[in-house]
């Protein structure tokens, strides 16, 4: 019943009630891993062709047959579930491979009673196995008789199979062992999708007789691929070979941060039951007391029906767009802060939000008459069930990420407030918190969180550990019957939630809490005094910040200044660039937040992998080696001029210091100096802010002496300096553990920078992540660094470390480290010379 070459109406191959794939009692089919399609619970004993076509495969065991329709669609007709195990008993195939069949022709006959008695279910499937080229929409979800219209199939790629690049191109295949810890769960699946999307070719993973397109995280997870399993990869298209090699590399490279994130928490044993105590599983350590606050899940109102289908589709699209914007915002901030765990988790959320399996199911439910909230909710629930049935604890935990998206999209659809109001110091109890809940609660200053469900390797657990928020999971349903307001003790290390602590116990916990607070307070007080070494050398400990709010926190924590303001915070998450006035106001706010302390403001460092919607830069083969940092002056000089004008209008200018990213030669610095002079003259500004350069490429470190002649100060960006010195992508998941700035090659560059700067009497700071590593403090001080710009929460700790050092001894021992052969050797030596407290 072909309407034209692209559209096809498939007729029912069997008679019986029709089901959506999601409701098939088989995790693999229901996940869509085999492809999109439909199911029938058959009442007759013969399977018929749903259209004209050619038989391209018949199962050896006679329970399934695949046809190629005239529009190129490949249709798997699978009789019953797990019927392969019957080994052909009860089936008789009526056609052979290569046969031409017509719509309605009998294909296979089976013994209905016999098969029904011996298999898991008779529910039979019609699945489009090359569904990436087609869109399938059921025509009915009621009962059908053989030959009645069942499904509408539309080719989405031009000409179906005939002229799309994918089908015209060659297909290449490869085989690889999965290195990812815990198998192919959400984050590695999102990485596979990301890799596949860099190419024009269409790629699939094949495992255990099943396949999934690499552009669906749900489909990939639905394959339930375990760690060390062998998978096949196929790619078809003009760049198939390159796509295949990239995918093989992604699949065979374990995520370093995954290993690190999973490592710190050992699976605790459960303790014997105790009255008034709920036993749970440690997700993030700590001991706290406080009032219990129950958080409920979002309630879905009844679906009253009678919807305008088009309006519901639109409503869903808008809500998805809103949530995806919110997630992108979280992602941008995680990237700016360099929080790789948070970034990977929300990257996976974004990929799930765009997942064709979830979206198709939701839109299908709308077509069937459901409102957008119910349609979305059903689609998510169906996939949660799939994940829970796959027999992998890790994948089952990932259902929580789907629930996060369920909740977020429902909130957007129902216009509910996105934040709860929980008092600081509370202990929050919930069935299961989602990653975005956790970020909100942590920002509100809650003391701890506990959940009836959840696991220690879930994304919420990873985030809780990152935020230092005590967290227990799997406390059981009893948690949800507890009243809000009662004072409880959360002993995460002991796996206990004490519901009725005695006054004595409460006093002890509160004492421990206050001792901890007192220690921090002492540290805080000391943090406000300058850090001097034992031989009385002042080391400035400043903070890396990305907004005026963070600057205020840094000052409260004792920062001697801002060592790095990443101005990208002003430019991301928006559709137009901030104008001069807005920029000036934002920089002034940071200066004002810092009292009388100096603030180093870095000019915008976008380009490379940090692209802005409103700043289209040419696509580059190697973006990190392209137009990024100060090189923007070459591509978009007016943008940099605008930023310099805004900076020149801040007051007082002696506290505002300008830092240039990615400088490689003296001329770049001289050019910006000239621009500063010209712009200051235009604005009638007499003073000049100090102008410094970042040392973050080896060329700059090697030219430090020449740069120092013209710069007011140098600041070492160890993140990029590691990347460019070691030739290892700083964001490469598989190399993360090896991109270590304590590598002796970097130490040599740092030493050379300090020596070069000293020749002109210039100070050297470090604003990369190495400055926040207490193990590195003595080495940096020993090599001549006199300013450390660290994350605001670590100011007290780094200052305390400085106070135990002697610069002369540090210099002698650090000089020896330059002769070691690896970062690991340097780390070992540091532990020996300067043990951490």
Is residue 329 annotated as part of the catalytic site, yes or no? no
CB of 288 to ligand PEP, least distance (A): 33
Contact flags string 687-706 toward ligand PEP, x per CB under 6 A: ---------x----------
Give the one entry of Mg ion, ligand PEP, none that residue 718 binds, where binding means its C-beta sits below a cut-off of 5 to 8 angstroms depending on kind: ligand PEP
- Of 357 and 766, nearer to ligand PEP (C-beta) is 766
Cα 377 to Cα 61, 299, 357, 663: the distances in Å are 38, 11, 13, 51
- 768 with 721: CB under 8 angstroms? yes
CB of residue 333 vs ligand PEP: minimum separation in angstroms?
13
With beta carbons less than 8 A apart as the criterion, state whether 461 and 471 touch. Answer: yes
Q: Is 718 in the site for ligand PEP (CB under 6 A)?
A: yes
Paired with 135 in beta bridges are 154
Is residue 213 within 8 Å of 219, Cβ to Cβ? yes
Q: How far is the CB of 719 from Mg ion (least distance, A)?
A: 5
Minimum Å gap between C-beta 795 and ligand PEP is 17
User: Residues 534-573: x/- map of binding to ligand PEP (CB under 6 A)?
Assistant: ------------------------------x-x-------
# of chain residues touching ligand PEP (CB under 6 A): 10
Separation CA 617–CA 572 (nearest Å):
15
Contacts of 381 (CB under 8 A, 6+ apart): 406
What's the CA gap between 39 and 126, in Å, rounded?
A: 6
In contact, 36 and 76? CB cutoff 8 Å: no
Q: How far is the CB of 696 from Mg ion (least distance, A)?
A: 5
List of residues 6+ apart from 288 with CB closer than 8 A: 427, 447, 448, 470, 489, 490, 509, 513
Which is closer to ligand PEP, CB of 258 or CB of 605? 605
In the bound complex, what is the minimum distance in angstroms from residue 394's beta carbon to Mg ion?
34
**Residue with the CB atom nearest Mg ion in the bound state:** 720
Question: Between helices 340-353 and 399-414, what is the axis angle to 10°?
Answer: 70
Structure tokens at 577: 């660039």
Tell me which residue has tokens 């014997």: 272
Q: Is the CB of 437 or the CB of 605 nearer to ligand PEP? A: 605
**Which residue number, 161 or 722, has a Cβ lying nearer to ligand PEP?**
722
The minimum distance between CB 650 and Mg ion, in angstroms, equals: 23
Residue 459 known to be catalytic: yes
Axis crossing angle, helix 580-593 with helix 637-648, rounded to the nearest 10: 40
Q: Which member of 768, 778, 784, 796 binds ligand PEP (CB under 6 A)? A: 768
CB 744 within 8 A of CB 820: yes
In this structure, which long-range contacts are made by residues 321-324, counting pairs with CB atoms below 8 Å and at least 24 apart in sequence?
A: 322/412, 323/353, 323/405, 323/408, 323/409, 323/412, 324/350, 324/353, 324/354
Q: Is the peptide bond before 380 cis (omega within 30 degrees of 0)?
A: no
Using CB under 5 A as the criterion, which residues of the chain lie in contact with Mg ion when the complex forms?
696, 717, 720
Q: Which is nearer to Mg ion, 347 or 696 (CB)?
A: 696
Q: Which is nearer to ligand PEP, 219 or 717 (CB)?
A: 717
768 binds, among Mg ion, ligand PEP, none (CB under 5 to 8 A by kind): ligand PEP
Of ligand PEP, Mg ion, none, which one does residue 566 interact with (CB within 5 to 8 Å by kind)? ligand PEP
Residue number, 280 or 717, with CB nearest to Mg ion: 717
Please, which residue, 75 or 564, has the CB nearer to ligand PEP? 564
Binding mask 591-620 for ligand PEP (x = CB under 6 A): --------------x---------------
Catalytic pick from 133, 180, 363, 459?
459
CA distance 69 to 54: 7
Q: Which lies closer to ligand PEP via its Cβ, residue 159 or residue 774?
A: 774
Binding track, positions 309-338, relative to ligand PEP; x by CB under 6 A:
------------------------------
Give the Cα separation of 568 and 422 in Å (integer): 31
Pick one of Mg ion, ligand PEP, none as the site partner of residue 432 (Cβ within 5 to 8 A by kind). Answer: none
Which position among 132, 258, 720, 787 is part of the footprint of ligand PEP (CB under 6 A)?
720
Minimal distance, residue 740 CB to Mg ion, in Å: 16
Residue 81 is classified by DSSP as B
**Which of these ranges, 275-283, 518-526, 580-588, 718-726, lies near ligand PEP under the rule CB under 6 A?**
718-726
Residue from 166, 719, 725, 753 touching ligand PEP (CB under 6 A): that is: 719
The answer to whether residue 765 forms part of the interface with ligand PEP (CB under 6 A) is no
CB of 335 to ligand PEP, least distance (A): 9
Which of 214, 235, 384, 767 is labelled catalytic?
A: 767
Pull the structure tokens for residue 446.
């809650």
Cβ atoms of 720 and 568 closer than 8 Å: no
Binding part of the chain for ligand PEP, among 23-31, 450-458, 679-687, 711-719 by CB under 6 A, reads 711-719
Closest CA relative to residue 37, chosen from 152, 160, 205, 122 = 152
Supply the DSSP string of 687-730, one letter for each residue: ---EEEEEE-SHHHHHTHHHHHHH-SEEEE-HHHHHHHHHT--T
Q: Which strands make up the sheet holding 36-40, listed edge to edge?
A: 100-101, 53-58, 64-69, 74-78, 124-128, 36-40, 16-20, 143-144
Helices (H), 573-636: 580-593, 632-635
Nearer to ligand PEP, 182 or 561 (CB): 561
Which span (156-164, 407-415, 457-465, 717-725) binds ligand PEP, by CB under 6 A? 717-725
CB of 718 to ligand PEP, least distance (A): 5
Cα separation values, 480 from 162, 418, 433, 440, 484, Å: 57, 22, 13, 21, 10
Q: Which residues are catalytic?
A: 459, 767
Binding site for ligand PEP (CB under 6 A): 564, 566, 605, 696, 717-720, 767-768
């Amino acid at each position: 019943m072909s309407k034209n070459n692209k559209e096809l109406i498939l007729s029912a191959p069997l008679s019986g009630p029709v089901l959506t794939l999601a409701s098939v009692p088989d995790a693999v089919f229901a996940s869509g891993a085999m492809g999109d399609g439909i199911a029938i619970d058959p009442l007759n004993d013969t399977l018929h062709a749903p259209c004209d076509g050619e038989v391209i495969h018949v199962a050896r065991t006679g329970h399934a047959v695949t046809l190629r329709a005239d529009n190129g669609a490949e249709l798997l007709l699978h009789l019953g579930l797990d019927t392969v195990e019957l080994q052909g008993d009860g089936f008789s195939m009526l056609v052979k491979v290569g046969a031409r069949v017509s719509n309605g022709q009998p294909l296979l006959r089976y013994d209905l009673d016999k098969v029904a008695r011996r298999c898991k279910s008779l529910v039979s499937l019609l699945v489009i196995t090359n569904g990436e080229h087609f869109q399938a929409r059921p025509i009915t979800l009621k009962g059908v008789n053989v030959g009645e219209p069942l499904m509408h199939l539309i080719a989405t790629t031009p000409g179906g199979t005939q002229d799309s690049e994918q089908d015209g191109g060659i297909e290449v295949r490869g085989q690889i062992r999965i290195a990812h810890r815990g198998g192919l769960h959400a984050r590695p699946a999102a990485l596979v999708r990301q890799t596949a999307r860099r190419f024009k070719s269409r790629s699939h993973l094949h495992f255990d007789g099943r396949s999934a397109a690499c552009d669906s995280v749900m489909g990939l997870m639905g394959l339930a691929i375990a760690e060390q399993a062998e998978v096949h990869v196929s790619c078809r298209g003009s760049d198939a070979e390159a796509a295949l090699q990239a995918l093989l590399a992604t699949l065979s490279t374990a995520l370093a941060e995954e290993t690190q994130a999973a490592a710190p928490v050992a699976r605790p044993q459960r303790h014997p039951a105790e009255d008034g105590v709920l036993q749970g599983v440690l997700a993030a350590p700590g001991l706290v007391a406080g009032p219990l606050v129950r958080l409920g899940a979002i309630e879905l109102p009844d679906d009253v029906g009678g919807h305008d289908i088009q309006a519901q589709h639109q409503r869903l699209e808008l809500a998805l767009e809103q949530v995806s914007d919110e997630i992108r915002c979280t992602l941008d901030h995680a990237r700016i802060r360099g929080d790789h765990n948070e970034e990977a988790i929300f990257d996976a959320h974004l990929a799930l939000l765009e997942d064709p399996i979830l979206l198709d199911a939701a839109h299908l439910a709308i077509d069937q008459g459901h409102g957008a909230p119910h349609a979305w909710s059903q689609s998510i629930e169906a996939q949660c069930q799939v994940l829970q049935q796959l027999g992998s604890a890790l994948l089952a935990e990932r259902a929580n990420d789907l629930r996060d998206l369920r909740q977020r999209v429902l909130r957007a659809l129902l216009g509910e407030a996105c934040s709860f109001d929980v008092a600081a110091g509370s202990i929050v109890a919930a069935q299961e918190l989602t990653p975005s809940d956790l970020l909100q609660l942590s920002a509100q200053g809650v003391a701890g969180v506990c959940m009836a469900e959840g696991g220690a390797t879930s994304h919420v657990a990873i985030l809780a550990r990152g935020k230092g928020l005590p967290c227990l999971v799997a406390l059981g349903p009893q948690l949800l019957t507890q009243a809000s307001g009662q004072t409880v003790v959360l002993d995460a290390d002991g796996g206990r939630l004490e519901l009725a602590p005695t006054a004595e116990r409460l006093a002890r916990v509160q004492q421990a809490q206050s001792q901890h607070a007192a220690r921090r307070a002492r540290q805080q007080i000391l943090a406000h005094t300058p850090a001097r070494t034992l031989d009385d050398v002042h080391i400035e400990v400043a903070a890396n910040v990305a907004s005026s709010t963070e600057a205020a926190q840094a000052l409260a924590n004792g920062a001697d200044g801002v060592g790095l303001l990443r101005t990208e915070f002003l430019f991301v998450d928006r559709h137009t660039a901030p104008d001069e006035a807005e920029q000036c106001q934002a920089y002034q706010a940071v200066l004002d937040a810092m009292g009388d302390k100096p603030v180093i403001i870095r000019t915008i460092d976008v380009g490379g992998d940090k692209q802005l919607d409103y700043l289209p830069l040419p696509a580059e083969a190697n973006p990190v080696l392209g137009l990024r940092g100060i090189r923007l002056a070459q591509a978009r000089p007016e943008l940099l001029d605008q930023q310099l004008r805004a900076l020149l209008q801040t007051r007082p200018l002696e506290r505002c210091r300008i830092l240039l990213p990615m400088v490689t030669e003296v001329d770049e610095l001289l050019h910006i100096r000239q621009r500063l002079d010209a712009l200051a003259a235009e604005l009638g500004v007499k003073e000049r802010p100090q102008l410094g350069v970042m040392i973050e490429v080896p060329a700059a470190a090697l030219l430090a002496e020449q740069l120092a002649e013209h710069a007011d100060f140098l600041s070492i960006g160890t993140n990029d300096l590691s990347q460019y010195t070691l030739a290892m992508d700083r964001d490469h998941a598989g190399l993360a553990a090896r991109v270590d700035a304590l590598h002796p090659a970097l130490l040599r560059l740092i030493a050379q920078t300090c020596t070069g700067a000293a020749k002109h009497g210039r100070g050297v700071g470090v604003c990369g992540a190495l400055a926040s590593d207490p193990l590195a403090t003595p080495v940096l001080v020993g090599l001549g660094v006199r300013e450390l710009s660290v994350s605001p929460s670590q100011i007290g700790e780094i200052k305390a470390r400085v106070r135990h050092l002697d610069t002369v001894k540090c210099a002698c021992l650090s000089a020896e480290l330059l002769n070691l052969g690896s970062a690991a050797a340097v780390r070992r030596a540091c532990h020996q010379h300067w043990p951490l407290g």
